[in-house]
C-alpha cells in the first residue's frame, strides 16, 4: 500500500529506517495486513511500531477480523496515517525516481502478484511502451524481525563484539 525508507548515515550509524503498510492475500479469502514504523524521530512516543492483522471478507462486503484486532488496529491506523503524511510532504526529488518509471510515488497503491511483478502496467516518462515491473527482495517490505535487528545493531543494543568476557 505504501513504503517510505530513509538511510541514516550520521555519526557512524548506518541504518535504514522505514515506514511501510502492506497487505497479502492468502488462501481461502483470508487477508493479512502489516504495518511497520522504524524511522528514528525525536518523538519518544513513536520509536518502533508494528502491527499485523488478519481478516476475511464476509458476505455483503463486511470485514471479519481475527485475534488481536483492538490493539493492532490502532497501531495500524496510526502507522498508515503517518506514512500518508510523509508521502504527501515528500519533495519532488524524492518522488522523481518513481515518476520516471511511471509508478506512483513511494509505491502508494501498487499491487504485485506472487512472482513480485506488478499487476498493472505503467508508462514511463520517456514515452516508451507501458510495462510491468519486477520487484527485487530489497524493494519489498522489510519483515518486522529484520527491522528490529537492524535497529538493535545500529543503536548498539545488539553487539557482536567477540572481545567481551564470557562468564
3-state class of 38 per DSSP? coil
Q: How many CB atoms lie within 10 A of CB 7?
A: 10
| pTM of structure | 0.78
Rounded Cα gap, residues 33 and 3, in angstroms: 14
Per-residue model confidence (pLDDT) at position 164: 56
Per-residue model confidence (pLDDT) at position 162: 62
Q: Please, which residues have CB within 8 angstroms of residue 57's CB and are 6 or more apart in sequence? A: 29, 31, 63, 64
Q: Please, which residues have CB within 8 angstroms of residue 30's CB and are 6 or more apart in sequence? A: 54, 55, 56
Per-residue model confidence (pLDDT) at position 165: 52
Q: How many CB atoms lie within 10 A of CB 56?
A: 14
Give the three cell numbers for residue 148. Answer: 528490529
Nearest to 50 by CA among 39, 42, 65: 39
* Residue carrying C-alpha cell 543494543: 157
Per-residue model confidence (pLDDT) at position 81: 92
Rounded Cα gap, residues 91 and 93, in angstroms: 6
Whether 112 and 118 have beta carbons less than 8 Å apart is answered as yes
Going from the first residue of the chain to its last (167 residues), give the mean pLDDT of each consecutive group of 10, the final group possibly shorter: 84 82 89 90 79 89 82 89 89 86 86 90 86 87 87 80 57
Spell out where the chain has E strands: 2-8, 15-25, 30-37, 49-58, 62-65
Per-residue model confidence (pLDDT) at position 97: 85
Whether 102 and 122 have beta carbons less than 8 Å apart is answered as yes
Whether 49 and 79 have beta carbons less than 8 Å apart is answered as yes
Per-residue model confidence (pLDDT) at position 34: 92
Per-residue model confidence (pLDDT) at position 139: 83
Amino acid at each position: 500500500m505504501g513504503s517510505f525508507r530513509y538511510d541514516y548515515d550520521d555519526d557512524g550509524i548506518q541504518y535504514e529506517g522505514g515506514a511501510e503498510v502492506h497487505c497479502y492475500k492468502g488462501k481461502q479469502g483470508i487477508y493479512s495486513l502489516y504495518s511497520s514504523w522504524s524511522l528514528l524521530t525525536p518523538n519518544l512516543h513513536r520509536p518502533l511500531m508494528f502491527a499485523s492483522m488478519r481478516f476475511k471478507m464476509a458476505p455483503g462486503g463486511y470485514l471479519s477480523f481475527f485475534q488481536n484486532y483492538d490493539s493492532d488496529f490502532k497501531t495500524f491506523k496510526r502507522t498508515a496515517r503517518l506514512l500518508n503524511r510523509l508521502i504527501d510532504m515528500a519533495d519532488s526529488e524524492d518522488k522523481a525516481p518513481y515518476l520516471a518509471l511511471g509508478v506512483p510515488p513511494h509505491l502508494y497503491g501498487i499491487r504485485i502478484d506472487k512472482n513480485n511483478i506488478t499487476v498493472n502496467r505503467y508508462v514511463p516518462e520517456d514515452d516508451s511502451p507501458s510495462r510491468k515491473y519486477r520487484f527485487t527482495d530489497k524493494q519489498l517490505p522489510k519483515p518486522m524481525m529484520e527491522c528490529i535487528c537492524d535497529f538493535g545493531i545500529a543503536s548498539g543494543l545488539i553487539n557482536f563484539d567477540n572481545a567481551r568476557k564470557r562468564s
